[in-house]
Each structure stands twice: as structure tokens, then as C-alpha cells.
Amino acid sequence: MKKVLMAGVVFVLLVSVVWATGQRESEMAFPTKTIEIYVGFAAGGGTDILFRQLARNMEPILGQSIVIVNKGGGGGLIALKEMEVKRPDGYTLGALLGNQFLQKYFQGSETWMDPMTDVTLLGVFNRDAWGIAVQADAPYDNIQEFIAYAKKNPGLQVGAGAPGTLYYWTWQALMETADIDLTIVPFGGTALSLTALAGGELVAAGAGPSEADSLMSSGLVKMIGVASTERHDAYPDIPTFQEDGFDMVIGPWRALVGPKGMPDSVVEILAHAVREAYHSDAFQTFIKEQGFGPFYRDPVDGMVFFHEEDEFFRGIMDRSGELRIGM
């Protein structure tokens, strides 16, 4: 009987060693097959084309193909929720945007996830400048003049995204910081709010320079500033808010993440690929030509950035009375 028990113990130990060795070899060999990135927006949109470019530049570094899987809905949340339950082996990744911090705290969100704990950060690789577009003949040419005009004319109508989006809450942040009163009119997308602005229905619309490009070229709207630390290479004539003495830096950003619990060795490989892809000449040329904002944070510095975003959006939601109960 003792021999049988001993044989059983030896067998279990051998199986454990083989399994553990297999796991280590699997991690060391990563990746050995195609990687998928779940993107929660339709093909052809800004987020989609940016992640496709990142994937294209990561492929030669990893030696494997990367496929973008579009799963729209919920401001990108549906795709993230599907990714969350996948095996944390590095073969299923996802697109994380600033909206997820908003959804976490906004009491109007029916479903949400916590970017601080529910995913593994592999790198933040973009941050676009939020800016203010106004009618071309508006009597203000910079952020300070706009604020002064708003103080004299409370209740001005400005265009934004839905209440669960960053473009909506950026207006809230502006009102709080500048101590002005605006009427935020939600639209189903930035293009719709810009169209309403060009048609005279609004006095301003929140947008990035690239989003307002065609209307600026047509002479229908002008950008009075962007909430970034530097002017964008593609739009050197648009000043930053900071240049005009208004210290506000905010805008939509994008990060690559995986499910929580990923092995450190796999995280290191993927984070390295994100970093190298971001700094590649091809990616840098792409974002400059397309008008995307340059911004990179590795997983360590990225979590510092996440903590800042977490604190910022919680404060905005709390002071507005929209904070989710228990948060």
C-alpha cells in the first residue's frame, strides 16, 4: 500500500513539474500564435485606425500577426468586458480609453469596469488635445476671451458627447475651473455637434483639431485653443490654453491592456513591443499626418497617470452630484 501511495505522490509531482515546466517554456516562447486586440468601436474610426497602426508596428517586434476585432457598443465597454474574461495569456488584448474612468464613477452608467484593478496595463500610447471650436466670426479668438464672453452671457449652448463621455465632462471641468455657466447640449458624436455649430445652433463645440479640420478649411469654424502642453505639429497655428494663461490640460487618450493576472514575462514582452512600436518612425509619422496627439507611458508611469485620471474624474463626478453611490 505504501508503495502505491509513494508511486501516486511521485506521479503527481512529475505531472506538476511537467506542467510548470511547460508553463515556463510557454511563457518564454511567447508569442507563438496570432494575437487579438478587441477594439470597442467600428472599423474606420479614429480609435480603430490608431490601434491598427500600433498593431502593424508591433508585429515585426513580436514576430506574430495581430488581428483587430471590432466589438462596438457601450463607449468601448462591451469589448473590454469580453476581453476581461479571456485567459490572461497575452493572446487577447483590448483597447482602453479615458471613458472607462468616467463610466466607473458616473451613476448613469448601467455597466462599468475599473481600469485600476480589472486589467493589466501594457502602455498608454496616445493622448489627443481637447479643444474648443467656435463659429468663424465669433467675437473671441482665445480661451480667455471666450471665458470673459461666457461670464457676461451665462447659459451659452455648447456641443458635447453623451453624458457618459469624456467630451461631455470636459465641459464640466472647464465650467468648474473657469467659474462660468454653460448649457451643455449632448450629441451622438463630435461630427454632429460640429455640424450644429457650423449651422449656428451652438456657440462652441468640444473637438480635437483633426475633427474640426474640414470645417476650418471651409472657413465655417475656427479653433480658439487646445488643452494640451504643446501645439500640435499638424496645427501649429492653434494655441494651447496654457499659452493664453489658462492652465488646463485634458483630452481623450488610448491604452493597450490585457486581462488581469497576466504573467510578468508576457507583460514585459508586450510592453516592450508597445514601446518600440510607439517610437518607430512609421508610427510617429502616422500620428503626425493623422493629427493624433503624441503621448507615451509605460506600465509603471502609466499607472501613475491612471491614478491621476482616477482622482480627477472622481472629483468632477462628486462635485457635480453625479458620483456613483459607494464610490
Query: Could you tell me if residue 12 is inside a domain?
Result: no
Q: Rounded to two decimals, what is the model's pTM? A: 0.84
Last residue of a domain, one of 212, 227, 244: 244
Q: What is the pLDDT along the chain (327 residues), one digit of tens a residue?
A: 544 444 454 444 444 444 444 444 444 689 999 999 999 988 988 899 999 999 999 999 999 999 999 998 888 899 999 999 999 999 999 999 988 988 899 888 888 999 999 999 999 999 998 999 999 999 999 999 999 999 999 999 999 988 878 888 999 999 999 999 999 999 888 889 999 999 999 999 999 898 899 999 999 999 999 999 989 888 999 999 999 999 999 988 999 999 999 999 999 999 999 999 999 999 999 998 888 889 999 999 999 999 999 999 899 889 989 898 888
Last residue of a domain, one of 222, 244, 266: 244
Which CATH number covers residue 152? 3.40.190.10
Looking at the fold, whether 135 and 240 belong to one and the same domain comes out as: yes
Which CATH number covers residue 36? 3.40.190.150
Query: Could you tell me if residue 327 is inside a domain?
Result: no
Total number of domains constituting the chain: 2
Query: Could you tell me if residue 200 is inside a domain?
Result: yes
Last residue of a domain, one of 244, 264, 293: 244
Looking at the fold, whether 227 and 123 belong to one and the same domain comes out as: no
* Confidence (pLDDT) at 41: 87
- Single-letter amino acid, residue 113: M
Looking at the fold, whether 226 and 311 belong to one and the same domain comes out as: no
Q: Kindly report whether the peptide bond that precedes residue 31 is cis, defined as omega within 30 degrees of 0.
A: yes
Query: Could you tell me if residue 1 is inside a domain?
Result: no
User: Which structural domain range is residue 219 located in?
Assistant: 131-244
* Confidence (pLDDT) at 28: 61
Looking at the fold, whether 137 and 240 belong to one and the same domain comes out as: yes
Query: Could you tell me if residue 312 is inside a domain?
Result: yes
Looking at the fold, whether 44 and 145 belong to one and the same domain comes out as: no
* Confidence (pLDDT) at 73: 84
Looking at the fold, whether 147 and 122 belong to one and the same domain comes out as: no
